[in-house]
Structure 1
């Protein structure tokens, strides 16, 4: 059985076995985890071939790897067990690039330890190096081919990882401040950099961080010069909590829904504070309009424009009630103090369905179609506040019951 597959099946609790400090090798005893005498020998940074490894049982080598070949043990676990011995002498730039992509920890250590050009790239464009190592690891690229790769200009290397082959793309990668990421974010990064509107904003914004790329990779609304400063407002206010990006996407969608085809007001927004003021002003105007014209009349106009209100796609229950008319949709926005009433176009098109949670607190629920079912799109308490944990659990139970049926 391959070592990686074996380690997926057992607890990764193992101990380091003492070896002479001058040997350049750290040996890990995997016996307690596997139940039989298995050892991993891993070369340190200061060895002749950094992070080459062999596994052996009863003094017989059963697997080995040297370049872009990890031993199947998480990088964090290796460091927690004997990090100082492994990393002694490793440049700070290399440590930082590995810390940014720990899912490629051993591969990055092998590449940087065995190729000077990789160490240079770790200093000048760590994000590009991560993308290159991820691609080369997936294809099993030999060391000689990877070394030849690194002789190319950075713009050419961008094309090798499915990005536009341009100096502008290479510069964006080199300017990006990193933080620990997961592999999926590499795909989001590439999706962003293949969107001309997004890269146009990024080129004129400083400083850049990974959050800018990730946000734009999911953004489908209007682009204007103040979009990234609004994102900065969230980062500066330390709203770095789960759902912050989703919150901003929804607020932007709400503003665009209330603005209709006239998006000029967005172009004057250059900060999070101005963005929130615009949202609140549009919401007040929208609900004032309902009060002045009357819900019944506006609902009648919506019926003329769209026809009858779409039937609820999935059933509610005693605490979660579907919105079933245009007038009820407008009323939901008024009584909850948010702009769900402006979702009429999306409701009519079948892109969203609206429900109301009564207990444990009042929450407006929006669900969207996905594949053959429906998924939670957003949940808003009064005045756009986040619902409580109890409310979200109630909504989750409802969605889970629908999935099971």
Structure 2
């Protein structure tokens, strides 16, 4: 249960008496003599109650209430009033105050009001957290697309890990979406309002690597004109994404390991240590422990980076997601290029499902854009690899229903007529393929 209380009163004896009562009853108490100081130090989503006198120099209790209401209408505020202030306090309750206590009040009266207010606050914060989780799931579903079991598992893992202050290693083939997953880990976590800094370790010349990561002072080396903030320092409070971490030079791996252990850096040419707070997310295609055994990567750094690991499946292992992804990329390309969204034939869909997609999602996106431009078909015909006939039929069925829903803008009756399916059968198939009518209501029927 929540137990935080902020007391705002300009009279020291009252502050001290209230603090003594509340502390003996197990409350965590913070005292302020002025409302302005309380507002300056009040954390966002404060998990407690504000207890404030009405009459104070400077900003009074009613003005404090109005500002707190502007910031968070559900934050409980209990006002302390003199006898002559009771009518004013009653009006304040109509304006959002939780309760008022007329001086002098007994400890029992104060504790009863506080406990009721804290119970209400706990319910409000729990409800907010549930809504935020639901919103995050919806946003993540729209970002990391796919209804395959592996993608559903990946989204759950991303949501869980986004809230934890641990380093994460992302493993996946080229084009499988490693940077997008890293970005989601940042955007859906508590560091979302801080910098997200992406560094491609394979693209930085070895002689410039240290300056890029750690920064430098003026004159630290030939050509170092002026002070420069490095990537790690710039990302303070946020996330550093180290892509292709296996390409990092061994000499720099030692220094990165030290940063992770000590949480501080030194710019080139400086002896001053700078404290930093960054989350490290690294991405790699090969297994870092295999690289360590081959002498190309430090084993201790591999363990430090791999507190938690996310494996991104290649597209060939989740072929049931191909029609949805191709449709998504086609719509975005058509909007960007001012073209119509082409309709896939059954033969073209078969080509998509049979292709091996060595470039993964990135290759699929490029293919969709080329088709929107009319440059070529969706994919070269090939032999399905690791895909049963049943799986291919399921993917084709999902594509046909999705296309019909889009053409008819979610009109279920029209879809039933086109596909010659009874309502119950269509509902069952839509549920199995993760298709929701509301997703198609606002879509424009494709032409061409």
**Band of TM-score, shorter chain:** under 0.3
Greater C-alpha radius of gyration: 2
Compute the TM-score of the two structures, normalised by the length of structure 2.
0.24
Compute the TM-score of the two structures, normalised by the length of structure 1.
0.26
